[in-house]
Structure 1
Amino acid sequence: MRALLVLLVLGICAYWVACVPTQDKRDHRIHHSKDLSDHTHDDSTDFQYDHEAFLGKEEAKTFDQLTPEESQERLGKIVDKIDQDKDGFITGGELSDWITHTQNRYVYENVNKHWADYDENKDHKISWEEYKKTTYGYAAGEVEFYDVVDKEKYRKMMKRDERRFKQADKDGDLIATREEFTAFLHPEEFDYMQDVVVTETIEDIDKNGDGSVDVHEYIADMYTPEADEPEPDWVKTERQQFKDHRDLNKDGKMDRSEISHWIHPQDYDHADLEAKHLLYESDKDKDDKLTKKEILDNWNMFVGSQATNYGEDLTRRHDEF
């Protein structure tokens, strides 16, 4: 009897795991346009922002473990890849294209990593039914989340996923190609997904349900004060940012158009600005293009190594004392 009871409990647990979507499969929260690095862009402190912008976050970590000689050797090979027309010069456009490529690489690597989990019939496409079954389990069918505590929460999550899937699915057959599935998982990277990104952003931040985002909702999305805690300076700065740059028509809230401008600024291209920065700092003869020598002469701005990290660590330790 006890053995039967154990088997029954294990069976229920297994079903529960299948029913409840895991966090990594349902966490599609959309934020405003991402920066090229989590680090502050302050060259007087270090070049970590530039390293992650130029190499990508994960590759920058690899370079941090190299000797200066190895780092420069690998940088030379990268320069050859950046020079698309093989004329021996790196233009601002080529540099910008490279930075965009490195920043988007994680998107496609993420899709490739999880593709087999969703493509159950191995037809190199992912249907909405395959995604729904893999993400939400059998409870997404006729069962309707009967064994899930917060049924309504999961119903809303699935409907939100379905809406985004249909938006990504250009031909409307509810079967996603690799490109369409990439747009579904990373809609912030695709122009034709902008409308659904705005919609999801409003759903996430708009707590009073009026279809817009006021300054209180804007701040609450990024900061929750502790009891009797004075408001930090950065929060005061964000309040001013909302007033000066987010609320364009000065009505005290952001509508769909203003939110779209916030998360997809048309006049701010991170990759292009970083390319211009690297070009300006490395172009010694001021001909608006870089040779491999000019880049290698300024290699520590483009890439890291054990030597540059050691120097930064010494600086930090000195500042701490």
Structure 2
Amino acid sequence: MNSLVKVWIFCVLLDIIWCHESSFQSIEEMDNHLHADQIPAPDSQPSYEEIKKKLSQLFDQEIDKDSDGLATVTELKKWIEVVHHKLIEDNIEQQWAYYKPEVQEVHSWEGYNPEQKEVLHWEHYVNMTYPDNIAEEDNSDPNFKNYKNMFKRAERRWKYADRNSDSVLVKDEYKDFIHPEESDRTKEILVDEAMEEMDNDNNGEVTLEEYMNHINEMSPEEEKTNPEFAQVQQNHFITYLDKNKDSVLNKDELKEWLVPSYDKHEAESWRLIQEGDHNQDEKLSLDELLESQDRYLSLIPPEFWHQYNDDHSTTTPSTHEEL
């Protein structure tokens, strides 16, 4: 494969696997990124009336299950879970098709009976994803060190995802590899990766200085030009992340930030209701939703947007987000 094509594929997949890596994100932030990236740019979207019609249809047929004309937190949460599942599966299907996995006999991690399944080999994945020189230890490219670190991180994720330790991944295992946040078995690897990235002195804690260094290194320049940028980030560390107020983040505090114990979809449901709940009844009517319909585009499932996304393909990986 042409080396320039490989570099392009590598950059696209890093966007998918590490969710832009512009500082570590909580699962909730990753979800928001994933949902937002399915929506095409405004100039590629259907008409206002078409979107209104689609949202009205979804409200009546999918969200308002008791047909009382109002969407509750519970009803919204159930639909958000459906859309989220579709987004994850859509993302996995695109990538799985791109890699063209081979069929071979696999011993299930759940039992001893072998099955014929599609599998992806590590070597094949590497050859189709990374530049040819990724195995080198030294390279003049200023970005090579970061690429190398990401390659090593991918190796570790692969081992986490490989449930039966046979060195290949079936599709369910590949889901754990590309979306570890979706599995209780693998999501804590995100915490290990964050600690490794930010803990410069390797003492098992992240100081405010280490946190700010990471934020400054990974944040876009336009964000850092905001005069309040540094103070906002420091306040976030002190007020929300440092739970025990000892001026450092331990692994448990990183975990609560990145893989929080609260229900992310319920939290998103409350946020969406607050966006349009003008009469403050803690429910959302169709009129309230349509009055601010641009705020509710994430409720539309991915299959609707595919026809308006020029870059959607079943043969090349899509950028979303991920991780």
Question: Is TM (by shorter chain) over 0.5?
Answer: yes
Q: Give the superposed CA RMSD.
A: 4.1
Counterpart of 1:109, as a letter, is: D
1:221-248 residue CA offsets vs partner (Å, 9 max, x unmatched): 222599xx99932321321221222222
Q: CA deviation at 1:253?
A: 1.2
* CA distance 1:21–1:149, change in 2 (3 Å): farther
Paired residues for 1:102-181 under 5 Å: 102-103=83-84, 105-121=86-102, 124-136=118-130, 144-145=135-136, 149=140, 156-181=149-174
Q: How many pairs does the alignment contain?
A: 267
Aligned ranges 1:96-107 → 2 under 5 Å: 96-103=77-84, 105-107=86-88
Give identity over the alignment, percent. Answer: 25
Q: Quick one: distance in 1 between partners of 2:256 and 2:236?
A: 14
Q: Are residue 72 (structure 1) and residue 63 (structure 2) matched?
A: no
Task: Give 3-state SS (helix, strand or coil) of 1:125's partner.
Answer: strand
Q: For the structure 1 residues 57 and 97, does the alpha-carbon distance in structure 2 shift closer, same or farther, using more than 3 Å as the test?
A: farther
Q: Which has the higher contact order (CA 8 A, sep 6+)?
A: 2
**Aligned partners of 1:302 and 1:289: how far apart in 2?**
15
CA distance in 2, matches of 1:146, 1:241: 37
Contact preservation (8 Å) 2:118, 2:171: yes
Describe the superposition over 1:163-218 as per-residue Cα deviations: whole angstroms up to 9, x where unpaired. Answer: 10111222332222223212211223333222211111112222223232110111
Which whole-Å deviations, capped at 9, do the CAs of 1:114-162 have from their partners, x for residues lacking one?
A: 223323426532232322232236667xxx4389557876654433212
Other-structure match for 1:47: none
In structure 1, what is the equivalent of residue 321 of structure 2?
Answer: none
| Contact 2:206/2:250 (8 A) holds in 1 | yes
Structure (1 or 2) with the larger CA radius of gyration: 1
Which residue matches 1:254? Answer: 249
Aligned to 1:316: none
Q: Shift of residue 65 of structure 1?
A: 4.3
Q: Which runs of 5+ in 2 are unaligned?
A: 104-116, 297-323
Give the distance between the partners of 2:132 and 2:226, measured in 1 at CA: 46
2:229 pairs with 223, 228, 234, which one? 234
Using the size of structure 2 for normalisation, the TM-score is 0.65
CA contact (8 A) 2:188 2:259 kept: no
Q: Does 1:264 align with 2:262?
A: no
- Alignment check: 8 A CA contact 2:101 2:119 kept: no
Is this contact kept in 1: 2:52–2:293, CA < 8 A? no
- The 8 Å contact of residues 64 and 304 in structure 1, kept in 2 or not, is answered as no
Q: Which residue of 2 aligns with 1:222?
A: 215
* Structure-2 separation of matches of 1:21 and 1:206: 30
Shift in Å, 1:257? 1.0
CA–CA separation in structure 2 for the residues paired with 1:192 and 1:134: 27
Paired AA for residue 292 in structure 2: M
Contact 1:125/1:175 (8 A) holds in 2: yes
Structure 1, 211-220 or 28-37: larger mean CA deviation = 28-37
Q: Deviations over 1:14-66 (max 9, x none)?
A: 5697699832334543522143657xxxxxxxxxxxxx97xx55347569844
CA distance in 1 between partners of 2:101 and 2:242 (Å): 46
Name the CA distance, whole Å, in 1 between partners of 2:74 and 2:174.
Answer: 29
The CA deviation at 1:104 is 5.1
